[in-house]
Amino acid sequence: MIETVNGNLCVDGVKVSDITEEFGTPCYIMSEKTIRENCRKYKNAIEKYYGGNGLPLFASKAFSCMEIYRIVASEGLGTDVVSGGELYTALKAGFDPKKIYFHGNAKTEKELIMAIESGVGHIVVDNIEELMLLDRLAGEKGKIANISFRIKPGVEAHTHDFVKTGQIDSKFGVALENGEAFEIIKTASELKNVKVVGAHCHIGSQIFDEDPFMLAAKVMLEFMAKVKNELSVEIKELNLGGGFGIRYVEGQNPKDYDEYMRKVSETVKSESAALGLEVPYIVVEPGRSIVGAAGITAYKVMSVKTIENIRTYVAIDGGMTDNPRYALYKSEYEACIANKADKPKDFKATVAGRCCESGDLIGENMMIQKPEAGDILVVFATGAYNYSMASNYNRVPRLPVVMITDGKPRIIVKRETYEDIIRNDI
């Protein structure tokens, strides 16, 4: 929990300024308690609404490091990975390969071999070329690969254009409306080294409304019925993807995830009955909603530069290298001065990073307490798509991740050093 105690911002009871004193700035700080609570919400909902006939997967592109795989595994979740690098990290952390789902629209031959050899439970096939390649590779290894298909159900989610993936104009998956999805399953059903297990869709990210999820579930079940009737292929598993919204700024009020899951389960059950299908095994893939609100980033204020009648730039010792989301898609965040957390937020700031790019901003028109050089500036809800999107632009070392566990901070990812940065230079 993130709260102010005696004027100081705290994460699970630990003062942010104590953490920055011990581990330096900038750094990411995450609450293990919050991550575990979020995992349990999805796990419990599957128990409650599907009698346990399903599995939540942590979409690890939101935040991938060894310790996060250990935490979500210990909560009984599976995980989805989208690259050889994420797969490698999950396996090294001891994640049960049977509970790993491998996504991606351009998996390489090497990555597919790695997935087959390590016994990954489920490969989510994106396109026909990948299907044929996978069938050949599995055959060469004498294995049968469990697969599902990434399907574009043609459902649009109300979200930012750049993260909209459910509609036909998307680089991901095969479309329903032009028969592409039907054809690929027909082809797969005739191959020897793959087994069609599931159908998958992911209609976007940062979605607050449950209607698009319900509509997507309905469309997918209708498709599964068509496949059963016309191809005699029974798809046993329905994966509804992730995308559940979180609160970044005031006015964003996500529903309780339990409520989403209940509503979607009603649609799944009633539609299955109407179509003469058994209720499928249900998979969901929350990423942001597991880790997003569990994390903050703590920076040091370096300078406060007021340009009369224009704006005030508050420069920090981090920026787009640790949080590229404003530069990428103008994502909004809230911030505060951790050591003045009980003071009014009456100062309008453009929070600027340290990179040699004018677009290196964390946000504009952000209301914070009056800042001075040396203050600790915290940006909220940075647990997802920050560390995992970090770069070494300007040869800035990546930040450490400090996890608060049982009221004590511990490092789960070390700060990069200059030595790390030149490691592969010749």
Ligand X SMILES: *Cc1c(COP(=O)(O)O)cnc(C)c1O
- Token pair for 395: 């040869």
| Residue 355 vs 384, nearer CB to ligand X | 384
Residues that bind ligand X (CB under 6 A): 59, 61-62, 80, 103, 202, 205, 241-244, 285-289, 384
Concerning whether 39 is annotated as a catalytic residue, the answer is: no
Least separation, in Å, of the C-beta of 245 and ligand X?
8
Reference 93, options 107, 81, 105; nearest CA is 81
Phi, psi (degrees; rounded to nearest 5) at 118 = -90, 0
Closest distance of CB 103 from ligand X, Å: 5
Choice among 39, 336, 355, 356 that is catalytic: 356
Smallest gap, in angstroms, from Cβ of residue 183 to ligand X?
21
Rounded least distance, CB 235 to ligand X, Å? 17
Residue 73 CB, nearest approach to ligand X (Å):
18
Whole-angstrom distance, CA of residue 16 vs CA of residue 2: 10
Could you tell me the smallest distance in angstroms from the CB atom of residue 285 to ligand X? 4
Which one, 124 or 368, has the nearer CB to ligand X? 124
Residue number with CB closer to ligand X (107 or 202): 202
Token couple for 386: 């920050």
In angstroms, give the least distance from the CB of 80 to ligand X.
Answer: 6
Residue with smaller CB distance to ligand X, 58 or 299? 58
Euclidean distance between CA atoms 55 and 200, whole angstroms: 13
Mind spelling out the 3-state secondary structure of the chain?
CEEEECCEEEECCEEHHHHHHHHCCCEEEEEHHHHHHHHHHHHHHHHHHHCCCEEEEEEHHHCCCHHHHHHHHHCCCEEEECCHHHHHHHHHCCCCHHHEEECCCCCCHHHHHHHHHCCCCEEEECCHHHHHHHHHHHHHCCCCEEEEEEEECCCCCCCCHHHCCCCCCCCCCEECCCCHHHHHHHHHHCCCCEEEEEEECCCCCCECCCHHHHHHHHHHHHHHHHHHHHHCCCCCEEECCCCECCCCCCCCCCCCHHHHHHHHHHHHHHHHHHHCCCCCEEEECCCHHHHHHHEEEEEEEEEEEEECCCEEEEEECCCCCCCCHHHHHCCCCCEEEHHHCCCCCCEEEEEECCCCCCCCEEEEEEEECCCCCCCEEEEECCCCCCHHHCCCHHHCCCCCEEEEECCEEEEEECCCCHHHHHCCCC
Q: Say if CB 355 and CB 390 are below 8 A apart.
A: no
Minimum distance between the CB of residue 213 and ligand X, rounded to whole angstroms? 12
What's the token pair of residue 26?
A: 């900038």
Q: Which residue has the tokens 């789960």?
A: 412
CB closer to ligand X out of 23 and 387:
387
Closer residue to ligand X (CB): 102 or 182: 102
Shorter beta-carbon distance to ligand X: residue 23 or 172: 172
- Is-contact 147 188, C-beta < 8 A? yes
99 contacts 122 by C-beta, under 8 angstroms: no
Task: Give the nearer residue to ligand X in terms of CB position, either 63 or 326.
Answer: 63
Active site residues: 356
